[in-house]
Every structure is written in structure tokens, then in C-alpha cells.
């Protein structure tokens, strides 16, 4: 017998969370070993660790409580990694030395596996005077480019690229450049970006008033607020960014408004944090707590929920004490306020088990009721911890209870806090759960609707072959187990068919009892009108949301797996997606292969000689092309040198680049990555141009070849479109390939593209 509800769950555990030796030999033999490892480590903070270890284990058992991935993978391993998911870094000083001190702190944090958020509003705008050097400032966008380059070179713990959030106030003089920055498909790829929207700005938008762009009390420009709002809307309509954060609303509601000011969030937006603030995340799996699913008397067990929340709060509070931190300032901030972010996953599945249609008024009321129960249980559990272990150090009862969130809290909870204090300053947050929801048996993510009730994924076997397996939503599988092939009821709706207003309604219902914020994607149809799209954001503002993130599939953002409207298949099945032919701006078709192409008997190519100064032997590069639909594209590369010191890395580069080329798509990034490599010993001048490394020189040769064959338009340009894919494979869905496993199973979940085949996500 296995605890895993689906094969994909076990595979996610093995890839992401199973503790292994450096050579890959498993230390956790079973998932029970993983639960025991986590429980034992978090119980170290208790005076009676054995008793609490068993209680913590019971909470983890059968995926009822799901600590965030950092905790699940790192707790009890003695590795030098933080158990906190992400951080907002210190305030960026408006000075060159201060800016690069902040860059160093960011690198150290990302090196330990933490995502980071920054407010770049504190940097003077482009063109402003720089006193003492007779120069003009380059502006915050130029420094964001530096951060972006740093992030590309830092691998987060668990072999994951770091995630970053950049924010900028709506009154910063460079806000228009910030809004449109991602119209360049090659720029700021490592950032999520959001505009900090203030209450006066929203009032000016509604009144069609003017709006001043200001820095350091100097007005640089006056614009119409509605024009600026429309530019934000147009950018996110076209490029899915920037997001919108209602920053004044966040600060007014913050329990700690008396000791901190928030100006940034973590990468997915669910944790608005002060300088050096950290987010500690975990989720209650609501789908596991429903009694008698699909029956008339079905309900989410209220006592089980209360008990589980209390144990989860204690576990998360202990993480503050056992975790390592990249910076001492982060440790101090966490210890002083002990904020945690307890959220949920499996909400949509739980609603289905009660016969409720996601997005309906009844489902919204049920969601608000459940989140209220969780908030009550969490706050009362934290009061009990304060009785036992003391309140958080900067607790001030009257100031705390006067905050926006606490003013709406139940009277008995307020009275308990006034009398005994509270252990954790903030307690609730709804984080992205894309990977841990797969690990828990493919339950619905966070408070998102079910994306697809069933889909087929290809699984790479040890012998190199691929097999197909069906991945079924947790609630749908329960329905099948109970009713066999009986048709799914009408209340089974999914993300493909829901109107955006239903998404906003559910986010607002949950937000009422979440003291931090919510990571949620409001899926919009590709053909939504611009005015209707803008209405989504106004609805989010009017209903009290703290922010808004949308996703509209288009030629720039790409498409995710969809169900054909004309399909005659049952609601629980996915339809075959159509094939599409996409063109880059040069008119050449861009083709992605779901599996590598076999090598033809012969290929056309060119061989290039690269002579590197101070090297005795030249390097020879042979680049061969394949013809697809009448257009040439690179297929393989061979790198040779008589210098035996070059043998290992040239062979590795040959194999890796050729493997990438054979996958198809826009492979111009290979050039960009190679050209960005700097040799710490110094580069060389080649034909009047400084080349930072021999690898950069190889990248330049490949770029020259791509230009000559028409694959690229010019130097440094790449394919300037980000096309939807024509997938050369039967029954292949339309989407971008996963950068980790290459499968076409990406979906937008809680603001992050997440692969359903391997669990890869930029955000966690």
C-alpha cells in the first residue's frame, strides 16, 4: 500500500522533497520517513519534543497539513538552507554604494534558496542630477537590469532559479518605463513586476483627475491618472505584467502598522512584507477534511479543521526558531514579529465534494465561512502559545488591536489577545501551492478553480522510453471511485469556463479573513475586450482585494493547455488541442518538438575557426542545420580542439547545445547565455572587440551562423517574438515547453507558470 493518491504525487516527492545523499541515494526510504524527519526537526523547539513530534507527524500524515516546499525539503537535513520561502529585502538607498550593498545581500539570500522582493521606488529617476559627479542618474530600471543579471547566475537551493519581485510606486517619475519594461521579451525575465497603487491614485482614476509624478518632493511631470491607469492595464493585457498592488489598503489593514511600513511583496504577492521581512508558508488541505463527499450530508469537519490549524500554527512558529537565515537582519525581523502565513489548498475540490459550483454566491459564502474558521482557530492557537511561550517581542496590545484587520476580528478573539497577548503578529496567507498540490494527490491549487479534470502526461522511463499516464483531479478521482463512469454534475466547472468576475468574487471572499494577502491568478479569455479586462481590476478594487493578477493567453504570453469548446468529450476529459503555425517577425516558422528529432542521414552546415589569444591551439566549431517547412534552423554543434585541457568542457558543451537545438523552439537564448559568461581571469580583444571569455566567443560564432542562415535578424536581437508553439507530436497541447522537463504541461497558477509533469515553477 502507498500513501500517494496518484503516481505523479510520488514522482514529485522523489524529485522535490525526498531527502537524498549527494550521489542521489535516498535517505528517506518512504514518505513516512519524510514526515518523521520534518516532525522531529520542528519539535526540537519544544520542551517535550517527543510528544510534539508525534502530534506534528499526525498533522503531516496523509497530506492534511502541507508545509511549504522549503520546509518539506529542508527540515531535518542539516543543510545550509533557509526554511523560509522568500524575503523582502532592505530599503534600497539612493546611492551607488548602497545599491550594490543591497545587490550583495540579494545574492546571499538567493544562494540559500530564498526568493526576494524589492521596492525600486527609492532610486532617483532617470535624468535626475547626481550631485558631486556632474552626471545624470541612470534610473531604477538600469539597476533592475543588474539584479536580473545577478539572478541568472545564482542557482537557488534545490536546483531552482531564484524568483524576484520588483515594485514601483504609481507616483514615481519612471513609472511609465517600469510599466512597459517587459514589452522587450529579453528584458527583466527573472522579475515579476507590480505597481504600488495608492488610494489617492484610484480616486483620481475614478474622477478622471490629474496625477503628479514626484521624487524627493520634486514634481517631475503631471499626467492624467486615467491615462496612466490605462497604460498599466494595456501592458498587463498584452504582457500579463505588471500586476497591481493596492498598497495603502495593505498598510491600513496590517496588524503591525504601528511599527512598520510595507512597500514590497514576496515574488508571488501573497506576503506584503517590511524591509528584511520573511514569509513562512504552509497550507491546510481542505480536500482531505471533507466528510461524506458528494452526499447530502457532506461537510468539512469543523473540529478536525480547528485541531489541525492549531497544530500547524505551532509547527510554523517553531520554524522561526529552527530555521537558518541568510542575513542577521532577516533573523532579527522574524524573531521580533514571528509572522507566519497559514493558508489553504484544495478549496475547489472541497467545494465540489459539497456540491457547490466554484464562483457561485453560495461557494463564495462557504469559502468565507471556512476562512473565518481558520482565522479564528489560528489566532486563538497563537494566543495559547503566547500564554506558554510569550508574545512576539514588539507586541503592543492597544496599537495591535487598533489595526484594520483586528478591528474586524471576533470580540472574543480580541479580548483574548488583550488579556494574554499573541505569539505571532500575522498568521494567514494564501500562497502558491502548485507543486505541493501535485504532491498531495493533485488537489486543486490554493483557492484556484480546478484547471483540468484530467489530462495525459508523458513519463520518461529509465530505459529512455516514454509512457503515458492519466493525471486526474483529486475530487474527480473520488467521484470515479464512488460512482464509476457516471457523468460529472453541472457544478463541476473549471478554469477554462469560468468568467473572470467569478475569480474575483472568490478572491474577495477569501481576503476578508486573510491578514496578509492572496496569490491568485484571474484567468481571462484570449478574446476578452480591453474594457472588460479593465473592469476586472476595478471589481477587485471595489470588492476589497489587496491586489490583482490576471493571465490572458496571447501571442506574447503564450497559451496554456485548453479544452476545445467544440469538443464533444465529457467534462472530465481533455480534448485534443489544435495545431497552429506561428511566425517569427522574419516570417520564419518557429517549431517546438515535444520529443527530439531523429538525425537525418546528412545535414548542411559550416565550420568556423576560433583563435583565442594566448591559446596554442584553435577551436573549430561545426554547426549543422535542418530544414523545416522550408526554413533553416540549427540542429547540432561540434566543438573540437587539439588542446586536451579543453576536451571535457567542449564535449559537454557539444552535447548540451545539440540537445537544446534538437528540441526546437526559440533557441537564441543559447547565444545570450554564452555571451554573458565572464572569465574571472579576464577576456581578450578579438578583431577590435572585447570578448569576456572563450565561452562568450563561442556564443558569438553561433550567433554569426544564425544570422547568416536567417534564423536571427541581427546581432543581439534573438527571436523578438515569444510565439505560441506548433507542436510536432500527436495530441499535443498548445503551450510553451517546461524549461525543466521539456513537456508541454505548463499552466498559470497563482501568478506562476507551473509544470504539471514535473512540478517545476519559477516561484516554488
Cis peptide before 560 (omega within 30 of 0): no
Residue 159: pLDDT over 50: no
Determine whether 270 is an active site residue: yes
Question: Distance between CA atoms of 737 and 556, rounded to whole angstroms?
Answer: 15
Determine whether 763 is an active site residue: no
Handedness of CA 750, 751, 757, 761 (dihedral sign): negative
Residue 613 in grid coordinates: 589569444
630 — pLDDT class (breaks 50, 70, 90)? low
Listed residue (518, 593, 580, 573) closest to 749, CA to CA: 518
What DSSP line would sit under 310-324, residue for residue? HHHHHHHHHHHHH-B
> What pLDDT shows up at residue 763?
58
Cβ–Cβ < 8 Å for 318, 404: no
670 — pLDDT class (breaks 50, 70, 90)? confident
Residue 603: pLDDT over 70: yes
301 — pLDDT class (breaks 50, 70, 90)? very high
> What pLDDT shows up at residue 112?
76
**Residue 397 backbone phi and psi in degrees, to 5:** -55, -50
Residue 371: pLDDT over 70: yes
Residue count of the chain: 764
**Residue 608 backbone phi and psi in degrees, to 5:** -120, 140
> What pLDDT shows up at residue 561?
42
Residue 65: pLDDT over 80: yes
Residue 578: pLDDT over 70: no
CA atoms within 13 Å, Cβ hemisphere of 675: 17
| Pairing outcome for strands 129-130 and 135-136 | antiparallel
> What pLDDT shows up at residue 738?
67
Catalytic residue among 86, 151, 170, 268: 268
Residue 762: pLDDT over 70: no
* 154 compared with 518, residue with greater pLDDT: 518
Q: Per-residue pLDDT averaged across 7-31, rounded? A: 92
Residue 290 in grid coordinates: 471533507
Q: pLDDT tens digits, residue range 509-524?
A: 999 999 999 999 998 9
Residue 101 in grid coordinates: 550593498
> What pLDDT shows up at residue 563?
39
Catalytic residue among 85, 266, 318, 624: 266
> What pLDDT shows up at residue 465?
67
What DSSP line would sit under 376-415, residue for residue? HHHHHHHHHHHHHH---TT--HHHHHTSHHHHTS-HHHHH
Beta strands in 642-696 (DSSP E): 684-686, 689-691
567 — pLDDT class (breaks 50, 70, 90)? very low
229-238, 286-295, 686-695, 730-739: range with lowest mean pLDDT: 730-739
Catalytic residue among 105, 241, 270, 726: 270
226 — pLDDT class (breaks 50, 70, 90)? very high
Residue 495: pLDDT over 50: yes
204 — pLDDT class (breaks 50, 70, 90)? very high
Q: Per-residue pLDDT averaged across 733-747, rounded? A: 60
Question: Distance between CA atoms of 336 and 699, rounded to whole angstroms?
Answer: 49
686 — pLDDT class (breaks 50, 70, 90)? confident
Q: What percent of the chain has a predicted confidence (pLDDT) above 70?
A: 85
> What pLDDT shows up at residue 463?
60
Residue 439 in grid coordinates: 504532491
Question: Distance between CA atoms of 492 and 500, rounded to whole angstroms?
Answer: 17
Question: Distance between CA atoms of 180 and 173, rounded to whole angstroms?
Answer: 14
Average pLDDT of the residues of the chain: 86
Determine whether 266 is an active site residue: yes
Question: Distance between CA atoms of 283 and 342, rounded to whole angstroms?
Answer: 6
For 231, 325, 342, the CA distances from 211, given in Å and listed in that order, are 14, 41, 38
Each domain of the chain, given as residue ranges in start order, spans 94-247, 591-708
Residue 727: pLDDT over 60: no
pTM for the structure as a whole: 0.78
Question: Distance between CA atoms of 285 and 308, rounded to whole angstroms?
Answer: 10
Q: pLDDT tens digits, residue range 253-296?
A: 999 999 999 999 999 989 999 999 998 999 999 999 999 999 99
583 — pLDDT class (breaks 50, 70, 90)? very low
716 — pLDDT class (breaks 50, 70, 90)? low
> What pLDDT shows up at residue 736?
60
Amino acid at each position: 500500500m502507498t500513501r500517494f493518491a496518484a503516481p505523479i504525487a510520488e514522482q514529485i516527492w522523489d524529485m522535490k522533497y525526498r531527502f537524498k545523499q549527494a550521489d542521489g541515494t535516498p535517505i528517506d526510504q518512504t514518505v513516512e520517513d519524510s514526515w518523521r524527519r520534518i516532525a522531529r526537526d520542528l519539535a526540537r523547539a519544544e520542551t517535550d519534543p517527543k510528544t510534539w513530534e508525534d502530534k506534528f507527524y499526525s498533522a503531516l500524515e496523509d497530506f492534511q497539513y502541507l508545509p511549504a516546499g522549503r520546509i518539506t525539503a529542508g527540515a531535518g537535513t542539516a543543510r545550509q538552507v533557509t526554511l523560509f520561502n522568500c524575503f523582502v529585502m532592505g530599503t534600497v538607498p539612493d546611492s551607488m554604494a548602497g545599491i550594490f550593498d543591497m545587490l550583495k545581500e540579494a545574492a546571499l539570500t538567493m544562494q540559500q534558496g530564498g526568493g526576494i522582493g524589492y521596492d525600486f521606488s527609492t532610486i532617483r529617476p532617470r535624468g535626475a542630477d547626481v550631485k558631486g559627479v556632474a552626471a545624470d542618474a541612470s534610473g531604477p530600471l538600469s539597476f533592475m537590469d543588474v539584479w536580473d543579471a545577478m539572478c541568472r547566475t545564482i542557482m537557488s537551493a534545490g536546483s531552482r532559479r531564484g524568483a524576484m519581485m520588483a515594485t514601483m510606486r504609481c507616483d514615481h517619475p519612471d513609472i511609465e518605463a517600469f510599466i512597459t519594461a517587459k514589452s522587450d521579451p529579453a528584458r527583466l525575465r527573472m522579475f515579476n513586476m507590480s505597481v504600488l497603487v495608492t488610494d489617492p491614485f484610484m480616486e483620481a482614476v475614478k474622477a478622471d483627475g490629474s496625477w503628479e509624478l514626484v521624487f524627493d518632493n520634486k514634481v517631475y511631470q503631471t499626467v492624467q491618472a486615467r491615462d496612466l491607469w490605462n497604460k498599466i492595464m494595456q501592458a498587463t493585457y498584452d504582457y500579463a505584467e505588471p500586476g497591481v498592488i493596492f498598497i495603502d489598503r495593505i498598510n491600513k489593514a496590517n496588524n503591525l502598522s504601528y511599527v512598520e511600513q510595507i512597500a514590497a511583496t514576496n515574488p508571488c504577492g501573497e506576503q506584503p512584507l517590511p524591509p528584511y521581512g520573511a514569509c513562512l508558508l504552509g497550507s491546510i488541505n481542505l480536500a482531505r477534511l471533507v466528510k461524506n463527499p458528494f452526499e447530502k450530508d457532506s461537510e468539512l469537519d469543523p473540529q478536525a479543521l480547528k485541531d489541525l490549524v492549531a497544530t500547524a500554527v505551532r509547527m510554523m512558529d517553531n520554524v522561526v526558531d529552527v530555521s537558518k537565515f541568510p542575513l542577521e537582519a532577516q533573523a532579527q525581523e522574524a524573531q521580533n514579529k514571528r509572522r507566519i502565513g497559514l493558508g489553504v489548498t484544495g478549496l475547489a475540490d472541497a467545494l465540489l465534494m459539497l456540491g457547490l459550483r466554484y464562483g457561485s454566491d453560495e461557494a463564495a459564502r462557504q469559502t468565507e465561512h471556512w476562512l473565518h474558521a481558520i482565522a479564528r482557530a489560528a489566532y486563538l492557537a497563537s494566543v495559547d502559545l503566547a500564554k506558554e511561550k510569550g508574545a512576539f517581542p514588539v507586541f503592543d496590545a492597544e496599537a495591535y488591536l487598533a489595526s484594520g484587520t483586528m478591528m474586524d476580528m471576533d470580540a472574543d478573539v480580541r479580548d483574548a489577545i488583550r488579556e494574554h497577548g499573541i505569539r505571532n503578529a500575522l498568521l494567514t496567507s494564501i500562497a502558491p501551492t502548485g507543486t505541493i498540490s501535485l504532491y498531495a494527490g493533485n488537489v486543486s491549487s490554493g483557492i484556484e478553480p480546478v484547471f483540468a479534470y484530467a489530462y495525459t502526461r508523458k513519463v520518461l522511463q529509465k530505459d529512455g522510453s516514454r509512457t503515458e499516464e492519466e493525471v486526474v483531479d483529486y475530487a474527480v478521482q473520488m467521484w470515479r471511485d464512488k460512482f464509476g463512469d457516471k457523468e460529472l454534475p453541472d457544478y463541476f466547472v473549471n478554469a477554462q469556463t469560468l468568467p473572470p468576475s467569478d475569480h474575483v468574487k472568490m478572491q474577495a471572499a477569501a481576503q476578508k479573513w486573510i491578514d496578509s494577502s492572496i496569490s491568485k491568478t484571474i484567468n481571462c479569455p484570449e478574446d476578452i475586450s480591453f474594457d472588460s479586462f479593465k473592469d476586472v481590476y476595478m471589481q477587485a478594487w471595489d470588492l476589497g482585494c489587496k491586489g490583482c493578477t490576471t493571465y490572458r493567453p496571447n501571442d506574447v504570453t503564450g497559451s496554456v493547455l485548453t479544452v476545445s469548446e467544440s469538443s464533444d468529450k465529457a467534462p472530465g476529459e481533455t480534448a485534443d488541442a489544435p495545431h497552429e503555425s506561428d511566425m517569427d517577425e522574419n516570417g520564419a516558422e518557429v517549431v517546438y518538438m515535444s520529443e527530439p528529432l531523429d538525425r537525418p542521414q546528412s545535414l548542411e552546415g559550416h565550420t568556423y575557426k576560433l583563435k583565442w589569444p594566448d591559446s596554442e591551439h584553435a577551436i573549430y566549431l561545426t554547426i549543422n542545420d535542418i530544414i523545416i517547412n522550408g526554413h533553416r534552423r540549427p540542429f547540432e554543434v561540434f566543438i573540437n580542439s587539439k588542446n586536451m585541457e579543453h576536451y571535457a568542457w567542449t564535449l559537454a558543451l557539444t552535447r548540451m547545445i545539440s540537445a537544446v537545438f534538437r528540441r526546437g523552439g526559440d533557441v537564441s537564448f543559447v547565444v545570450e547565455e554564452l555571451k554573458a559568461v565572464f572569465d574571472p581571469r579576464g577576456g581578450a580583444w578579438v578583431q577590435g572587440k572585447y570578448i569576456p571569455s572563450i565561452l562568450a566567443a563561442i556564443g558569438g560564432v553561433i550567433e554569426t551562423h544564425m544570422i547568416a542562415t536567417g534564423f536571427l535578424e541581427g546581432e543581439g536581437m534573438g527571436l523578438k517574438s515569444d510565439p505560441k508553439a506548433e507542436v510536432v507530436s500527436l495530441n499535443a497541447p498548445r503551450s510553451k515547453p517546461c524549461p525543466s522537463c521539456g513537456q508541454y504541461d505548463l499552466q498559470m497558477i497563482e501568478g506562476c507558470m507551473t509544470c504539471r509533469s514535473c512540478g517545476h515553477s519559477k516561484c516554488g
